[in-house]
Amino acid sequence: MLKGESAEQAKLFNLCRLTQKHKHLFHIPNGGSRNPIEARNLKYQGVKAGVPDLFYPFPNTKYHGLFIEMKYGKNKPTKFQIEWLSYLNSVGYLAVVCYSADEAFKLLEKYFEDKV
């Protein structure tokens, strides 16, 4: 059973499926607990601390695409996440933190309609 941030993220993808919208949104599985060997191998393969959870590779008139870092409850972005969000925003992407599936879905809708 998923809880917290994972449950909200799953709910977001379910909303996308149910509404048949934003089918190109995808998860970047950079986080999570792994055994030391797997973690080392993934680091060699390019996994980077702080990369946002989700990417929507759809440009609108203002941005190249949308990155979303999902958080839940009182969780706050880490130093590395803040650095990534800042960098991505500085090079033409919209990169934000969302605290619920509903907030993220509303953002996707506004972004898609070019109202962000």
Average pLDDT, the chain: 94
pLDDT of residue 94: 98
Q: What is residue 38's predicted lDDT score, i.e. its pLDDT?
A: 86
pLDDT value for 42: 85
**Whether 63 contacts 94, CB under 8 Å:** yes
pLDDT, tens digit (0-9, with 9 covering 90-100), for 15-67: 999 999 999 999 998 876 678 888 888 888 988 999 999 999 999 999 999 99
Distance, CA of 116 to CA of 102 (rounded, Å): 16
Q: Is the pLDDT of residue 6 over 70?
A: yes
pLDDT for 15: 97
Six-digit token string for 15: 């909303």
Name all domains of the chain by residue range, CATH numbers in brackets: 4-112 (3.40.1350.10)
- Alpha-carbon dihedral 14, 85, 66, 34, rounded to 10 degrees: -40
pLDDT at residue number 16: 97
Which has more confidence, 102 or 39?
102
**Tokens matching residue 52:** 């946002």
CA–CA separation, 90 and 99 (whole Å): 22
Tell me which long-range contacts 54-57 makes (C-beta under 8 A, separation of at least 24): 54/9, 54/12, 54/25, 54/26, 54/27, 54/28, 54/104, 55/25, 55/26, 55/28, 56/22, 56/24, 56/25, 56/108, 56/111, 57/24
pLDDT of residue 74: 94
Q: What is the pLDDT of residue 32?
A: 67
Amino acid at 83: E
Q: Angle of helix 4-19 relative to helix 101-112, nearest 10 degrees?
A: 40
